Amino acid sequence: MKIGFIGLGNMGAPMAKNLAAAGHDVTGFDTVVSSVEGVAMAGSAAEAATGADAVITMLPNGAILRAVASDVIPAMQAGATLIDCSTVDVDSARAVAGDAAAAGLGFVDAPVSGGIGGASAGTLTFMAGGTAEAFAAAQPLFDIMGQKAVHCGDAGAGQAAKICNNMILGATMIVTCEAFALADKLGLSREKMFDVVSTSSGYSWSMNAYCPAPGIGPQSPADNDYQPGFAADLMVKDLGLAQDAAASVDAATPIGAQALELYRQMAEAGDGGRDFSYMLPRLAAMSRD
C-alpha cells in the first residue's frame, strides 16, 4: 500500500518505520522531524497524502489534527482512508470524520495504548471508531503496528474508549501511590505491600506492571529516576479531555476530576516532564513525619 504518515514524533516515527519495514511505500511529513528510517519525506502534509491509499496522523492535539485534516482531505484520492491515531477530543474526531465522509473518504479514529515501547515493538493496542468498511481497510495496518485492534463503534468511539481507559489509569496510579505512602507510615515494607496487593483485590496495571516504587516489581520508570514512560504532562492532557467529555454529556466523574487536579499540581511544580508515577515521591514528601 501507499501510505502517507503525518506526525513523526516519539510515537509516529517508530510506527511509520514499522510500516515501511513491512514493505509498504511510506511517505512522511512532520514540521520538525526531517528523517525516519525507511520513510520518504514530503515537503507538506498534502504532498504526503497525494495518491495514498491510507493517510495516518499521529499529532499532539485536536486543533492540530483539524488543521492538518483540512490540508490533507482535499489532497486524498476518493476511496482512501484517513486513520487518526492521535489522542484528541471526541468532537474533533467526529468533525474530521464528517469532513472525510463528505469528501468520499473513509475515516477511523484509532488512538493507541502501549506507549513508545509498544510503538517501537509493533505491539500497540488500537481502539477504533468508524464504519465497518473503514475499520476493515485500516486493519492490516493495525496488525503491523500493533497486537490488537478493537472496533469500538462509530466515529469518536475510539477516542471515548481511550479517555475512559486513561482516566482509570490516572486514578489507579494515584491511589496505588497513596497506598505505598500510607504503608510507609504504618511500618509495612513496600516489598510486602507489593507481594500482597499484586495478588489480591487491589491489583491493577499500575501496581503489577508499572509499580511506582523503585526496586519493587518489574522494571518501570521508577527504576530509572522516573524518566518517562508516560509523562505527567500527557496525563494532564488525557484527564483534561476526560473532564471536557464528561462535562459535555453531564457524566459524574469526581475521582477523575481530583486526579486531574493532582497531576496539574505536579506539572505546576515543574515535574510535568517526569513519569506520572512520580506521584509516589510527591505523596511520600507530603505525608507528615
Half-sphere exposure of 217 (CA within 13 A, CB side): 23
Contacts of 152 (CB under 8 A, 6+ apart): 127, 128, 129, 158, 160, 161
Gap between the Cα atoms of 240 and 221, Å rounded: 23
Q: Is 175 in the site for ligand NAD (CB under 6 A)?
A: no
CB distance 131 to 106 below 8 Å: yes
Residue placing its CB nearer to ligand NAD in the complex, 12 or 190: 12
CB distance 108 to 135 below 8 Å: yes
17 is catalytic: no
Gap between the Cα atoms of 91 and 126, Å rounded: 19
H or E stretch at 83: strand 81-84
Q: Is 14 in the site for ligand NAD (CB under 6 A)?
A: no
Q: Is 106 in the site for ligand NAD (CB under 6 A)?
A: no
* Subset of residues 109 to 168 that bind ligand NAD, contact rule: CB under 6 A: 112, 115-116
* Piece in contact with ligand NAD (CB under 6 A), picked from 23-31, 34-42, 132-140, 178-186: 23-31
Number of residues in contact with ligand NAD, rule: CB under 6 A? 25
* Subset of residues 76 to 105 that bind ligand NAD, contact rule: CB under 6 A: 86-87
Residue placing its CB nearer to ligand NAD in the complex, 30 or 183: 30
Single out the residue of 22, 64, 188, 267 in contact with ligand NAD (rule: CB under 6 A): 64
Q: Give backbone dihedrals phi and psi of 169, rounded to 5 degrees, phi first.
A: -60, -50
Q: Count H helices and E strands in the chain, helices first.
A: 12, 9
Single out the residue of 4, 5, 8, 56 in contact with ligand NAD (rule: CB under 6 A): 8
* Piece in contact with ligand NAD (CB under 6 A), picked from 7-15, 176-184, 190-198, 262-270: 7-15
Q: Is 60 in the site for ligand NAD (CB under 6 A)?
A: yes
Which residues face 15 on adjacent strands?
Answer: none
- What's the distance, CA 170 to chain centroid? 13
Q: Which grid coordinates belong to 135?
A: 475499520
Amino acid at 265: Q
Q: Is 30 in the site for ligand NAD (CB under 6 A)?
A: yes
CB distance 36 to 16 below 8 Å: yes
Q: Which of the residues 2, 17, 148, 162 is marked catalytic?
A: 162
Single out the residue of 26, 52, 55, 58 in contact with ligand NAD (rule: CB under 6 A): 58
Single out the residue of 7, 212, 256, 281 in contact with ligand NAD (rule: CB under 6 A): 7
Gap between the Cα atoms of 81 and 71, Å rounded: 15
Q: Tell the smallest beta-carbon distance from residue 11 to ligand NAD (Å).
A: 3
Catalytic residues: 162
Residues in contact with ligand NAD by CB under 6 A are: 6-12, 29-33, 45, 58-60, 64, 68, 86-87, 112, 115-116, 230, 234
